[in-house]
């Protein structure tokens, strides 16, 4: 579904991504893990088009993503829902209005159709009773579930999650991960930048371990956690799993 070829991305003198190549299959849940600053979020943002790589190619459904072909590129980006670390909800709009806005302005849906779709997905993530609430009245977990519903309202083919639980209190993490698990059971393709090793191991199909802008190792989730092949991955896991 996604093919990344020889991607390079720098911020000034800092090389965030160094010759990254990666394939994501339809229906797969891939966890991007690694230490802070390893390039996980940058890779995710380059795939979606929020960041522009200096070189390399990205293919979606067999078609090259080419920013110079504006209409095609915009249509391709609509196929990918993006969920941010800090929710990015509009505070002056209700949860329902947040979920309707892009549907009417980007997809051209009527208010009635957009509202019906919004309520469908708010119900799916357990937020229907908060439809008329403003983000300031919500917990962190509720905000993130609303943000997931908003992304789903665009009917994406795949979902990209950028550390969706890192801004949450521990008690709120489970409610967001449960929504993501449900999406996985329904066959949604997902790329997840995460520090939640339990989620990566139990829910994800594959783990991609990055450090210093490079893919050090990738494997099926259980195989990676049970028997990592690289010394760097072994060292990383020894530090995140405390005995």
Q: Is residue 41 part of a domain?
A: yes
Q: Dihedral, CA atoms, 168, 148, 39, 75, nearest 10 degrees?
A: -160
Average pLDDT, the chain: 92
Structural domain total, the chain? 2
24 plus 35 within the same structural domain: yes
98 plus 149 within the same structural domain: yes
Q: What pLDDT sits at residue 240? A: 83
The CB density around residue 149, as the number of other CB atoms within 10 Å, is 28
Range of the domain at 36: 1-79+157-216
4 plus 116 within the same structural domain: no
CATH assignment of the domain containing 68:
3.40.50.300
Domain C-terminal end among 127, 156, 185: 156
State the Cα–Cα distance between residues 188 and 235, nearest whole angstrom. 32
Q: What pTM, to 2 d.p., does this model score?
A: 0.90
Q: What is the pLDDT of residues 89-100, one digit of tens each?
A: 999 999 999 999
Question: Do the beta carbons of residue 41 and residue 163 sit within 8 Å?
Answer: yes
Domain C-terminal end among 131, 156, 181: 156
Q: Is residue 237 part of a domain?
A: no
Q: What pLDDT sits at residue 242? A: 61
The CB density around residue 164, as the number of other CB atoms within 10 Å, is 28
71 plus 92 within the same structural domain: no
Number of H helices, E strands in the chain: 9, 10
State the Cα–Cα distance between residues 73 and 79, nearest whole angstrom. 10
Q: Is residue 222 part of a domain?
A: no
Q: Is residue 240 part of a domain?
A: no
8 plus 125 within the same structural domain: no
- Residue 229 tokens, joined: 């092949």
Q: Is residue 229 part of a domain?
A: no
Q: What is the pLDDT of residues 40-82, one digit of tens each?
A: 999 999 999 999 999 999 999 999 999 999 999 999 999 999 9
Q: Is residue 54 part of a domain?
A: yes
């Amino acid at each position: 579904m996604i093919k990344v070829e020889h991607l390079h991305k720098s911020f000034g003198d800092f090389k965030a991504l160094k010759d990254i190549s990666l394939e994501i299959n339809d229906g797969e849940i891939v966890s991007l893990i690694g230490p802070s600053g390893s390039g996980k979020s940058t890779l995710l943002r380059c795939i979606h088009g929020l960041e522009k790589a200096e070189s390399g190619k990205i293919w979606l459904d067999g078609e090259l993503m080419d920013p110079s072909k504006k209409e095609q590129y915009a249509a391709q980006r609509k196929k990918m829902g993006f969920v941010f670390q800090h929710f990015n909800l509009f505070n002056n709009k209700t949860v329902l209005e947040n979920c309707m806005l892009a549907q009417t302005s980007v997809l051209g849906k009527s208010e009635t159709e957009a509202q019906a779709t919004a309520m469908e997905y708010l119900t799916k993530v357990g937020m229907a009773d908060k439809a008329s609430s403003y983000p300031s009245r919500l917990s962190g977990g509720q905000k993130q579930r609303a943000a997931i519903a908003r992304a789903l309202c665009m009917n994406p083919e795949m979902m990209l999650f950028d550390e969706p639980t890192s801004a949450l209190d521990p008690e709120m993490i489970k409610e967001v991960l449960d929504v993501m698990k449900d999406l996985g059971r329904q066959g949604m393709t997902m790329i997840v930048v995460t520090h939640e090793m339990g989620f990566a191991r139990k829910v994800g199909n594959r783990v991609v371990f990055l450090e210093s802008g490079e893919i050090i190792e990738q494997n099926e989730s259980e195989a990676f956690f049970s028997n990592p092949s690289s010394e760097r991955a072994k060292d990383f896991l020894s530090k995140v799993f405390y005995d």
